[in-house]
Chain A
């Protein structure tokens, strides 16, 4: 898992991951790129991350992938990420395509639901929590 301040250098990350696994005999490599869209007059999105829980979440996904003979990778931004740049990349390597296709789907969807990352719109230099696009994590409401 890799965290960076500001936008991701997606080509460097994907190229490096590909090089790292060049001799691993994986038949499928499926990358996913999340790019900041220009909408609602935002200048950027901004992110807070709680790294200790994110690392545990990611470690559990690495274990699930390993059972399938696969590897999951991810990188995410901290702080401001301008429109038309990327804040999130992930990838799956697996021996055959079907495992990788299914795993990237499950991994990215669970990332959206349970990775401890908070998103803010940046408008006129102000950070506004994206409450309407955010999802309560599994187990939310315990203390109510």
Chain B
């Protein structure tokens, strides 16, 4: 199981899912209509390191963070 958490304004509770790669996470999140407006704008971190590859392999206990558009300062 991996844990997927939604940061900042997304305002959605974390979820746990079976996933072997980030592509599996993508497929599951695309089924959730509450995320439709967010996924194309969000970046992704795996265990607090930013990632850019859907084929990234996940292992049990991994934590995937979904980061919406930012505006510090």
Contact = CB atoms under 8 A, between A and B. Distances in A.
Q: How large is the interface on B (under 10, 10 to 19, 20 to 34, 35 or more residues)?
A: 20 to 34
A144 interface: yes
B45 A129 contact: no
Interface of A: 34, 47-48, 50, 52-53, 56, 76, 87-88, 108, 111-120, 129-131, 133-144
Interface string B49-73: 1111110000000000111111111
Contacts of A140: 40-43, 69
Contact of A138 (B7, B41, B50): B50
Contacts of B66: 143
Contacts of B22: 142-143
A17 B56 CA distance: 41
A34 B72 CA distance: 10
Contacts, number: 115
Secondary structure of the A contact surface, majority rule: mixed
**Do most interface residues of chain B lie in helix, strand or loop, or is the interface mixed?**
mixed
Contacts of B40: 140-141, 144
B7 A118 contact: yes
B50 A131 contact: no
Given A50-B67, A139-B52, A143-B29, A115 B72 contact: yes
Q: Please indicate which of the listed interface residues A117, A136, A142 has the most CB atoms of chain B within 10 Å of its own CB.
A: A142
B73 A137 contact: no
A115 B67 contact: no
Nearest to A118: B8
A85 B10 CA distance: 27
Nearest to B36: A144
